[in-house]
Every structure is written in C-alpha cells, then in structure tokens.
Chains A and B, each alone.
Chain A
Amino acid sequence: MEEKLVTAAQVRNKTLVSLFFLLLFIASSIVTWNWLQKQPKEKEALKPLRQALDANESIFSGMFSNYHLVKTYPKEMAAPKVRVNGNAGMSDDFDPSTWKLKLIKRPGDTVFISLDEIKKIAKTEIIFDFKCIEGWSQVSHWAGVRFSDFVKYYGLDAQAQLQFTGLETPDDEYYVGIDTKSMMHPQTLLCYEMNGAPLPLNQGFPLRLIIPVKYGVKSIKRIGSIYFSNSRPPDYWYERGYDYYCGL
C-alpha cells in the first residue's frame, strides 16, 4: 500500500473537504426526496414514478411471449375455497338472467352474446397460481374459452390488431384496460366455471376474465362489455396509483 508523509494540517484539510462532500451528499439526498414528494401526480402516482412505471412497461413487455406459459398444477392442488377480493362493480341490482355480453366491435357496431353462445366455443381449463397485486397467491381451478378462440370465432382479427382491449362491468363501476397481446396469450380465458361448477355470483357469474400473465386486478369479474382501442382504456386501479401494465 502506498504511503505518504504529510503535515497534520494537510490531514485536517483533506478530512474536512471530504466530510463537506459527504454532508453535501446527504443533504442533496434529502432535498431530492423532498422534491420527489412535491411533484404533481399523474393518475395518483408521483409523475417521475409514473414515468418510471411506464418505462418499465416498455422494457419488460419486450420479454413477453405467447410461449412463456405460467406454471399449471394438478386438479388436487386447487383450493376448494377460492379467495374473494374486491367488490367494485359487483352491485346488488344485477340480474344475471337478462345478462348478455356486449361486444363492441367498433363504435356503432355492437353485438350481444349469451353465455350459451359462448359455451359453443371449445372449453379450456387452467389450474394455476392466481397472483394478487397485494402479494398473496392461490392455486385455483378455472374454465372457459380462450380469449384468442373467442376472437377467432367472432372474426375479430382486425380488432385484435389494436393495441388495447377494454373490459367493463355492467354498471361501469369496475373497468380494466389490457394490452391486446396479453389478452391473446393462450392462457387468457373468458371464464364461466370455477372448480368444475358455474362461477359463484361473488366470483363474477356469468362471465369473468382470468388472465394469468397479469396481477388479479386485471381479472375483471362480471364482464359487461368488451371493446378495442389504440389508446389506453380507463383502468380502475391505474387511476388509483397502480401500474397500468401489471404484467407478470
């Protein structure tokens, strides 16, 4: 190790200069933190952090692939009691007997589809670890039609080219926007069964979304309408400060 002979004054000065820079560094860390907290909010997230979330989307959506499948489990591992989380959009004045899915192909071109018609499309089952944005997860068993099969069946190829798909509950109280690429993932289901039986009302009867490549917030219960867009459809939790993409 390199040794040097210096005067006591030199030692003192070098130390003081370095200490000054350390204090400056600590002070600027605090100033930066306070500056960040004072930034305007964009959709309930501090603007610089919102920009970071959006930048993360452009970075990590690059690794998304239809060939990356979430792990599936044997039926025995599925939880008999499936956790119910969140009741936005699940108002009491809903009449399932008159329900039909409102498919907005393009503005002014809307079709209404009954559950029986949807059930004509090939059924797909999935048992996977459902992941909530809160951090819990649960292996659960769902069945329905692949969204990509639904798109094929109803000839929505042009719509599937649009960047986003929007879904809303019949009362418009809960709504999600999802990149259509993730919607077309082979494990994304328009789901009507849970544990081999029709969906319970509190799990979104008659039809809900199950999208394993996203946090549960995107798996909207009780779908009222579906539409397509090239700009971000409104999203309930996005408006409350969460990431728009929510991709796993």
Chain B
Amino acid sequence: MKRIVKKHPLAIRWFHWLNFPILAVMIWSGILIYWANDVYKLGWNDKTILKIFPDSFNKALNIPFRLAEGMSLHFFFMWIFAINGLLYVLYLVFSKEWKLILPNKRSFKEAWIVLLHDLRIRKDLPVQKKYNAAQRLAYTGVIFMGFFMLVTGLAIYKPAQLYWLCAMLGGYQWARAEHFIITILFCLFFLVHIIQVILAGWNNFRGMVAGFEVIKGKDLAVAKETEAVEHPDNSQNKTN
C-alpha cells in the first residue's frame, strides 16, 4: 500500500500548463515585435557589451521583418494570457488556496534558510505546508509579474487613451522597457523553475500532473512516529 496526499487541484494544474504554450507564443511574438526597434543593450554610453538581441540570434531564428505577424499574434494571445491569469487569481481567492501561496510573516526570514538549504549549505529546513517560504515568495512574485505584464502591456498598447497609466509607469518608453524587463524575469523564473523541478524529482513533478504526491518511506516513518507519540499502542507499526 502507498500513502498519497492531494497536492494540486485540477483547476490549478490546468491554469499552470496552459501558461506554457501561451507564454511561448507571447514571448515569441514579443521578440518579433521587439526586433523592429531593438534598442536595448548591456553596456554603458557608447560601449556595448551585448546587443539585445545579437544579429546572429535574430538570423538563426528568422526574426527580422515579421513585425506585423508578431503584433497580430500578440494582440490575440494577450486575451488568453489575461483570461487564464484572471481565472487563476479568482480561483486562488475562492478556493482559499491563496493562504498556501501568499508569503506570511515568517516567509521572508525562512526564504533565506530555504535558499541556503537548496544551495547545499544548510541541512535543515523549516516546517512547511504545500509550499516552502522561497516558493511562496517566488510564486506570489510571478503572479505580480503577470499583473505588471498586463499593466505595462496595456500602457504601451493604448498610451493615448490610458495616458494616466502610461504616466504612472514613467512614460511610454519606460513602460516598453518595463514590459521587456518583466519578460526577461519571466524567462529567468522559468529557468530556475525547471532546475528546481528537476532537482525535486518525479514525485513533485507528478503533483502538477496527476495532482497527488506519494508520501515516501522516510516521511511515512516521520508521520508514523508522530502517530506513535499520539497513540502509543500503535508503536509496533514503526517502520524506520
């Protein structure tokens, strides 16, 4: 027999996996649009360390001269991104899942311990529920990033009608840069997310696919130990 525990509700799994193709199309079409005015770079004044994006990158992916195509894709899939995100947030609110994902008072302190643990510097981990402190910060952060993606996108989409929104973000070109920076942050999040999922292993991954996690031997032992303390007559079941 195996002991399983429910992890991610079906709705959350759908919201999660839908983001994958949606973001792929949004980032791809965003790159097609960015090419038409590819002014960002790493460097200072006249010195350029890295042009974003390098010509070789554009050439390899056949990006040049596809602005119209990029815009038509972007302005269709933006709706799917927005609706999926909105439904996800509504679901978090009404299912009370937000309690598991929003950082609490301890999260900011504990996130450091989690970070040190994940970097193999510390051994112990604070007690956690569904998400550890670092996950709470990261996943809440990415919800805010999605929100700012919509807000900055809207500001550069309708800078005249939403002049106040554009002004709040520091003006048209700043809003465009912010939209771009959030995209980079999304890509970095994705990278760390993939690494963490690989490191966490199959059982954790299955949680986002099938919705449940199997409580492993060691955890089971811990669970039984607690049980044993609470009900001493069951102590012969202790497995260790």
Contact = CB atoms under 8 A, between A and B. Distances in A.
B176 A3 contact: no
Most chain-A CB neighbours within 10 Å: which of B76, B167, B211? B76
Interface in B124-161: 129-130, 157-161
Contacts of B55: none
A15 B76 CA distance: 34
Contact of B73 (A17, A49, A63, A71): A49
Given A3-B5, A4-B4, A11-B2, 18 more contacts: A1-B5, A1-B130, A2-B5, A5-B3, A6-B1, A15-B209, A19-B210, A49-B75, A63-B161, A69-B160, A71-B166, A129-B172, A132-B37, A134-B37, A135-B37, A240-B68, A241-B72, A248-B159
Interface residues of B, number: 46
Contacts of B17: 22, 25
Nearest to A128: B160
Interface of A: 1-8, 10-11, 14-15, 17-19, 22, 25, 29, 33, 44-46, 48-50, 52-53, 56, 60, 63-65, 68-71, 129, 131-137, 212-213, 237, 240-243, 247-248
B173 interface: yes
Interface of B: 1-6, 17, 20-21, 25, 33-34, 36-37, 39, 67-69, 71-73, 75-76, 79, 129-130, 157-163, 166-167, 171-173, 176, 206, 209-212, 214-215
A44 B69 CA distance: 9
Nearest to A21: B209
B210 to A, nearest CB: 4
Nearest to A182: B160
Nearest to A52: B76
A213 B160 contact: yes
A135 B214 CA distance: 50
User: Which 6 pairs across A and B sit closest by C-beta, in order of nearness?
Assistant: A135-B37, A241-B68, A18-B210, A52-B76, A49-B72, A134-B36
